[in-house]
Structures are given as C-alpha cells and as structure tokens.
Amino acid sequence: MQKVRFGIVGVGGMGTVHARYLLTGKVRHAELTAVCDIDPNRLKPFAALPTFAHSADLIRSGLLDAVLIATPHYDHTTIGIDALQQGLHVLTEKPISVHKADGERLLAAHTNCRQVFGAMFNQRTDPYYQKIRQLVQSGELGAVQRIQWTITDWYRTEAYYATGGWRATWRGEGGGVLLNQATHNLDLFQWMFGMPTQVRAICRFGRYHDIEVEDDVTALLEYANGATATFITSTGETPGTNRLEVAADRGRLVYENNRLEFIRNAVPAGEFSRTSTESYAQPRRTRQEFTFPNHGGQHVAILQNFTDAILDGAPLLAPAAEGIGAVELANAMLWSSLTGRVVDLPLDSAGFAAQLAQLIAAARPVQATGAKNIAEARPYLIEVQTN
C-alpha cells in the first residue's frame, strides 16, 4: 500500500476539519476517498467524492483502507464495531464510547492485531504533557504524593449548547463536560499518572447552562499507593484555568500558562525527613523550567501517526484500547455524584450502564440539530475539491 485511503463518517464540525487536512495534503501518504453523513446537506461540499448516507455502505464500498469516525459519541461504538468486523483500520474521535460497557464491546471487536485501531486524543501530541509523563514514568519525579488539576478553560456559551441536536443530552451525547471537553484531560490524566482505585465527585447538572448534563465537576481520586488527586473542570467559568500541580518525593511540577516548572529536591522528601537531625530543615532545591515552541502537531499529528502505523508499523500515540480509561473516569465521577457514594475502580460497567439508562429514560427528547455551526469550513472545501 502506497497511500492509506480514508473514509470519514460524520462530516460535521470535526469531520470537516479532518477532511480538510486530508484534502490539502497535510497528512503524508494519506488521501480522502469517500465520506458519509446522515444529513445530505453536510455531504454537498463533498460532491466531487463518492458520498454515502449510511456508514454500513461506506464501510463495504471497497473504497477505503481506514475509516475515521467523527459522529456523535454513541455511534463510535456501533460504527467502530462494524468497521473492525469488516477488516478496516479504524480511527475514532474521542471519547471511544459513552460508557465503559460500550467501550468493552468496541474493544472486543478488535481481534486482528494487523488492523490499526486508534483514538483522536490529539492532546497527547503536546510536548508539555509528554514531558510531564516522562518525568513521572521515568521515576525522575519520585513517588507521586498529590496531583491537582484545575482545567476550567473549556468555557462554552449558551449559544454553543443551543445548536441543539445530540449535544448535552443524556440520550444524544451521554454526558457533558466530562465526556466531551475534559475527556482529553481525563485521558491525559490516566496516561500520565495511571488509574486511581477510588473516585468521589460532585457534578452540577446544568449549573451554568440550560442543559440536562453536567457542566461543572469537582472530583477526588485515590491511588493504590496512597496518592490523592483533585480534578476540577467546568464549561461555565471565564477566565478559566489550566493548572496542573504534582507533588512528589523528589520535587514538584507546576504546569500553567505555557510553562512547566520542576523544582527538584536534592534529597527526596521522605529520605530527608528520616535522616535530617534538624526540626525545620528542608532539602536543597534546584529549579528547572521547560518551554516548548508550540503544543505539538495535535490532530494532524494523530492522523499522521495513524497513517504511519498502517504503512510502516509505527507505534500508535493513542491506541483506542487506552481510551477506555477516560470513559471509566468520566463514568465513575458521574456515578459518584448521582449516588453520593465512593466508586471503586475498575468500574462495574453493567451497573453504570443501568444508571445511564435511568437518566435517558427520564430525559428530555432530543431536538433537531441546527447545522449553522459548521458553515464557515464549507466554501473552502468546495474550492479544494474542484481544483
């Protein structure tokens, strides 16, 4: 294979952006050969390509090697399973599924290790998060004591939610800020620090917006080694914050405002405490700052890495299998808040699915989607297609 032939399912906001990257040659050795959307209006800009109204027909068209799923969340599972069963490589948008039981079904369909199955966790390409992960996982930071991540710079207006359709509904989206915006951060969290063993959380539903799902979350996590973490997110605060602080035996990391600071203890905190003969002494410290010119290649880098994985066997930056961690954390936070209980991990996936079914049963009907939010990208695409 010289070039990977991509088909995109769902050419709304994000699918259109991915299409543009592929059509303008941003991804080496990759081409867009067909698209699919249930909304015929969204297919119009792609008239120069074969288009499909049903994902099953696109998947069976013989026109693709890989499918990129950019539909609302619930369909990631069903379309992903179909594409995997038909032998295609699959790249799914985040989250890989709405709830853990769906994620398990989806991952179980990936039985052929020659099929590449990735997830669009574009923030994994950010060198700041890569550096934090390396400092934690190499042991350079020592045993982690406490993590605090306030990630509230996901502000969204009422107009964003008022576009209607699947967004911010239990039936259409399956959750709010945890599943949509902060799913990136939950993925990074477990990618950098691993999974906790217990979760408790307070979620506020429609605190800032006229929506039924959560738009404000404060969670407390506990790790097997006794480390604790707070995770705070919201779509209602502006100016928002993105501040990640990690206290560890060998020092402290703070990431905020595009700066990563590492204050390193010359002697680890635990050892110093045991060996110092002075009551109020502290270890000597050195300060290091990491800055990077940008936040990495983001979506294009994930598309490139996925393509390279198919053509050359490059290791995936974001395997879909790892995407279940973010789903599990989001589900656990929601469940804890709804029940007022501490939720043990690994999560009881069937139990949470039953809880979600109750929320759906009591939910408002989903309104028709407003398509206005994606209009700007369209004329540009038409130009590219006709050239």
Ligand X SMILES: NC(=O)c1ccc[n+]([C@@H]2O[C@H](COP(=O)([O-])OP(=O)(O)OC[C@H]3O[C@@H](n4cnc5c(N)ncnc54)[C@H](O)[C@@H]3O)[C@@H](O)[C@H]2O)c1
Query: Nearest approach, Cβ of 54 to ligand X (angstroms)?
Result: 7
Q: Which is nearer to ligand X, 221 or 374 (CB)?
A: 374
| Pairwise CA distance, residues 383 & 116, whole Å | 32
d(CA 138, CA 129): 14
CB of 79 to ligand X, least distance (A): 6
Give me the residues that bind ligand X (CB under 6 A), please: 9-15, 36-39, 42, 55, 70-73, 75, 93-94, 120, 122, 165, 180, 374
Q: CA distances (Å), 170 to each of 13, 178, 182, in order?
A: 20, 12, 17
Query: Minimal CB distance to ligand X: which residue?
Result: 12
Grouping H, G, I as helix, E, B as strand and the rest as coil, residue 131 is helix
CB 8 within 8 A of CB 36: yes
Nearer to ligand X, 23 or 253 (CB): 23
- Helix orientation angle between 74-85 and 100-108, rounded to the nearest 10 degrees: 10
Nearer to ligand X, 44 or 146 (CB): 44
> Minimum Å distance from CB 228 to ligand X?
29
Shortest separation between residue 282's beta carbon and ligand X, angstroms: 42
> 3-state DSSP call for residue 262?
strand
Angle 322-326-330 from CA coordinates, rounded to 5°: 155
Q: How far is the CB of 215 from ligand X (least distance, A)?
A: 15
Q: How far is the CB of 359 from ligand X (least distance, A)?
A: 19
Q: Transcribe 203-251 into DSSP letters.
A: EEETSSSS-SSEEEEEEEEE-TTS-EEEEEEESS-SS--EEEEEEETTE
User: Based on CB atoms, which residue is closest to ligand X, 10 or 118?
Assistant: 10
Of 71 and 169, which CB lies nearer to ligand X in the complex structure?
71
Pick the closer one to ligand X by CB: 211 or 246.
211
Q: In terms of CB distance, is 9 or 359 closer to ligand X?
A: 9
Q: Assign 364 to helix, strand or coil.
A: coil
Q: What's the closest the beta carbon of residue 17 comes to ligand X, in angstroms?
A: 8
Q: Given strand 30-36, what is the order of strands in its sheet? A: 51-52, 30-36, 4-9, 66-69, 89-92, 117-119
